[in-house]
Homo-oligomer: A and B are copies of this chain.
Amino acid sequence: MLIITYRLKHIMVVQTQNCAPNQELFNPGRTLLITNTNLNGKQSDIFIDESGIIQQIIKTGSRSLHNEAEHIIDADGDFAFPAFTNTHTHSAMTLLRGYADDMYLEPWLFEKIFPLEGCLQPDDVYWGTKLACLEMIKSGTVAFNDMYFFMEDTARAVVESGMKAVLSYSIPLPPCQLAGGDPVEEGKKTTEKFVRYIHSLENPRIKPGVAPHSVYLPSRDEIEWYGRYAEENDLTLHIHLSETKTEVDECRQRQGIRPPKYLDECGCLSSRTIAAHCCWLNLDECALLGERGVHAAYNPASNMKLSTRRAMPYSALINAGVNVTLATDGCSSNNNHDLLEDARVAAMLQKYQYLPTTLPAHEVYNMMTKNGAKALGLGAGEIKVGVPADIILVSRKNVANVPVHNPVSNLIYSLTGSAVRTTICNGQVLMHNRVVPGEEDILNRAQSAASKLVDRYDERENSTSS
């Protein structure tokens, strides 16, 4: 039985396993003690200070830290793992979940996704991101790297969620985001304004970035401008890279060189770069990414669903020293944000394409924890003294977590996000006993936003055709 004890204002509250936690538990800025958790095979207590830093890790029973903590969670033997980082998302696309599937890329994008996105309003992005954050928290993710539109509204949702994120405007901007001037200049101004806005928040959980979408959407001038701007302002540069063979072939035709070389010439490959997909890289390109210190975001489920027909050359990237991370991509090509579902697919796809020994479970585990945290520069992705407490507790009572021969194998191959009982970001409890405050309201509002979005699109189509 899981017991939670609250010592706020000298009042003790004891709750049993299936009850909703006291709302106080979710407040930030309190000291927190996690007792009786299985951390790397040892029953441990973890003490987190009011700034969200792990201060002590001791053997359970060796010494009591109970008197020092404002909140106590008895983990009852559940596993503690570092919380996850998702390095490539378009989070508000949750609103398009299931809107279009099973299509070729071009009609899917140009006939279904782009037209509907053309009707997006800022509040849609806000509620779509709220839904995405909820989904990520419920599956153990505390940090993500997002590229989309109306990013001030994304930021608002992230601030409220308690999560961490790097946020960037996707360039070029879509018509719904443009005021009517020169689209290229509007893109630059929107990005500059957004970067200033995020800095003005002074929220250590959120960082601005830039996101020239890919080699095929912005012009060379634009890509170069964003590369320079990111360098001058020390920002993450988030870009799609060599996702499809078509992209590689077209880049060779237009630019005379393949995408990685082209981006390198544009000044876009550095240790601040997070390159999503990287399916169609050759060995020289893996080496180039390694030399430049680029972080690669592997999106196995999206790649399979959209039929890229080649998996990221994981072993070659690792051999070249590239930091490989894990991501879900947006919800219209996945169709959820459960990184544990994609962890399994990540390992399986490498085995299917390459060898049964490629990408073993513990390497997937590193991808979604410390490698991801390193790419975003938000947290450590490890549970140790002196780093931000980004921790999940994974239930030992989940049927797919029995028996335990190898906890990491179970995590990667057998469990989904539903096995996560508790999610903690920077020491703040975002979920406990699977309860996230405000969940029902988010579900209702997101459903409503999605329905109205489709209604607006249908109305516009009808008025155009009549």
Q: Which residues of A contact B (CB under 8 A)?
A: 18, 94-99, 101-105, 108, 131, 134-135, 138, 301, 303-309, 331, 334-336, 338, 341, 344-345, 347-349, 351-357, 359-361, 397, 399-400, 402-406, 409-410, 413-416, 418, 439-440, 443, 446-447, 449-451, 454
**Given known contacts A102-B356, A405-B99, A447-B402, A305 and B351 CB-to-CB distance under 8 angstroms:** yes
Contact, CB under 8 Å: B450 / A336: no
Give the Cβ gap from A360 to chain B, nearest Cβ, in Å: 4
Which B residues lie within 8 Å of A352 (CB)? 303-304, 307-309, 349
Give the Cβ gap from A405 to chain B, nearest Cβ, in Å: 4
Contact, CB under 8 Å: A97 / B345: no
Which B residues lie within 8 Å of A18 (CB)? 18
Query: Beyond the given A101-B406, A108-B356, A336-B400, could you list 8 further A-B residue pairs with CB under 8 A, ordered by the A residue number?
Result: A95-B403, A305-B347, A308-B352, A338-B416, A402-B446, A402-B450, A403-B446, A404-B447
Instruction: Please pick, from B304, B351, B414, B440, the residue contacting A335 in the complex, using a CB distance under 8 A.
Output: B414
Which B residues lie within 8 Å of A400 (CB)? 97, 135, 335-336, 338
Instruction: Please pick, from B306, B345, B415, B443, the residue contacting A345 in the complex, using a CB distance under 8 A.
Output: B345
A-B contact pairs, 17 of them (CB 8 A): A96-B405, A97-B403, A98-B405, A98-B406, A102-B347, A102-B359, A304-B345, A304-B348, A305-B348, A306-B351, A309-B353, A335-B409, A341-B341, A399-B443, A403-B449, A403-B450, A405-B454
Contact, CB under 8 Å: B447 / A403: yes
Contact, CB under 8 Å: A414 / B98: yes
Give the interface centre of A359, A403, A404, A447 by most chain B CB atoms within 10 Å. Answer: A403
In the complex, A409→B335 CA distance in Å?
Answer: 9
In the complex, A84→B403 CA distance in Å?
Answer: 24
Give the Cβ gap from A456 to chain B, nearest Cβ, in Å: 14
Chain A facing B: main interface SS: helix
Contact, CB under 8 Å: A97 / B410: yes
Contact, CB under 8 Å: B101 / A360: yes
Contact, CB under 8 Å: A101 / B409: yes
- The residue in chain B whose Cβ has the minimal distance to the Cβ of A302 is B348
Instruction: Please pick, from B345, B439, B447, the residue contacting A348 in the complex, using a CB distance under 8 A.
Output: B345
Instruction: Please pick, from B336, B399, B415, the residue contacting A414 in the complex, using a CB distance under 8 A.
Output: B336
In the complex, A454→B403 CA distance in Å?
Answer: 11
Give the Cβ gap from A330 to chain B, nearest Cβ, in Å: 12
Instruction: Please pick, from B101, B108, B446, B447, the residue contacting A361 in the complex, using a CB distance under 8 A.
Output: B101
- The residue in chain B whose Cβ has the minimal distance to the Cβ of A364 is B102
Which B residues lie within 8 Å of A98 (CB)? 403-406, 409-410, 413-414
In the complex, A451→B404 CA distance in Å?
Answer: 9
- The residue in chain B whose Cβ has the minimal distance to the Cβ of A356 is B307
